[in-house]
Amino acid sequence: MKQLFIYILLLFMTVACKKIDKLTHFYLNYQTRVTIEQTDISGISFDVRSSIIPTNSDSIFTAQHTSADHVNQIILKQVSLFIVNTDSIQPGTIQSIEIYVLGEGSSDKLIAWTYHITNEMYAPFILSTTTDDLIDYLKKPQIQYRIHGELSGDQVFNIILNIETQYFSSATIVSER
């Protein structure tokens, strides 16, 4: 009988821990577009910035029953980057890409990169991502991305890139009094 009680107790604790994880783990998703224009290109490299993206972090944290002070970490889980106007861009035009996150009062932080793009013009680019904690960037009211890369030539006009990022956050639940 004692063994049955211990098994039931262990099962209950496991289920309870998983439910707590669901309450303390959540995602922050952002999407933006950037345009690489002919004027942005000097030689074969480019460096463009996205528009400023509101993080809405305070409202996201509130909806998750926590606050910025109780967020433990924010890790980049996924970056999807693809060319919107593929019909006007020749395969192999983009050779490499680096994506940096910029935050108010913080230095540029490399978060995603690929240095060997083949002819993947019609599918999202596969990028390596940092495993660093990005809490100092995502707790701020806004972020911006800087995209740096290399092109195969200088006859490129208006490449539109769509960037989607997903960040994983873990936090402590703020108890209501």
In the 3-class helix/strand/coil scheme, how is the chain assigned residue by residue? CHHHHHHHHHHHHHHHHHHHHHHHEEEEEEEEEEEECHHHEECCEEEEECCCEECCHHHHHHHCCCCHHHEEEEEEEEEEEEECCHHHCCCCCEEEEEEEEEECCCCCEEEEEECCCCCCCCCCECCEECCCECHHHHCCCEEEEEEEEEECCCCCCCEEEEEEEEEEEEECCCCCC
Q: Tell me what pLDDT residue 15 has.
A: 47
Q: Tell me what pLDDT residue 33 has.
A: 93
pLDDT tens digit sequence for 165-174: 999 998 876 5
Q: Tell me what pLDDT residue 17 has.
A: 45
Q: How many CB atoms lie within 10 A of CB 12?
A: 10
The gap from C-alpha 115 to its chain's centroid, in whole angstroms, comes to 18
The token pair that represents 78 in the structure block: 């996924």
21/17 Cα distance (integer angstroms): 6
Q: Tell me what pLDDT residue 155 has.
A: 61
117/126 Cα distance (integer angstroms): 9
116/150 Cα distance (integer angstroms): 10
**CATH of region 27-171, choose from 3.40.50, 1.10.10, 3.40.720, 2.60.120:** 2.60.120
Q: Tell me what pLDDT residue 139 has.
A: 87
* Sequence spans of domains, the chain: 27-171
Indicate whether this model's pTM tops 0.95.
no
Q: Tell me what pLDDT residue 126 has.
A: 79
- Listed as ranges, residues in the chain with pLDDT below 70 are 1-23, 39-43, 86, 118-122, 153-157, 173-177
Closest CA to 20 of 171, 177, 176: 171
Residue with tokens 């995209």: 147
Q: Tell me what pLDDT residue 14 has.
A: 54
Q: Tell me what pLDDT residue 110 has.
A: 96
Q: Tell me what pLDDT residue 78 has.
A: 92
